[in-house]
Amino acid sequence: MVVVGELQRGADAWMMILEMGYRRLQVTVGELSLQSNEEPEVERRVISLADWLKDMTDDMLEIIWELEEGPDPQLEACIDWRRVDGMMSYCYALFDEGCNLRDMLEERLEGDNDKDDEDL
């Protein structure tokens, strides 16, 4: 039989995972935002930027998937679901913002590639 104290510790640990996911999304979106404000550079930078964007997208997806899995069902009675719903709303908003920034940067990359093709 699982002791209530153990369940509460498990619930607290899951809330920490949620908070860390939120912070990781904040950092990722911040990095995307900074990149979106920089001027595109030389052609080799375009390739590395494309790889970087893929990595950022993969990171954001991994975070959201981890958070959507939710806690162990045994912990559900110990979870503050209003707090979880609020945090998840913030996480989804950050995820959407990150996706929009990624799309903007990808469009910029495609425009730079088209411009390079015209120069040939």
The Cα-based distances of 4 to 7, 11, 12, 72, 106 in angstroms read 5, 10, 12, 14, 49
User: Could you report the per-residue pLDDT of 50-68, keeping only the tens digit for each?
Assistant: 899 999 999 999 999 999 9
**pTM for this entry:** 0.84
Chain CA centroid to CA 95, Å: 5
Given pLDDT bands bounded at 50, 70 and 90, which one contains residue 109? confident
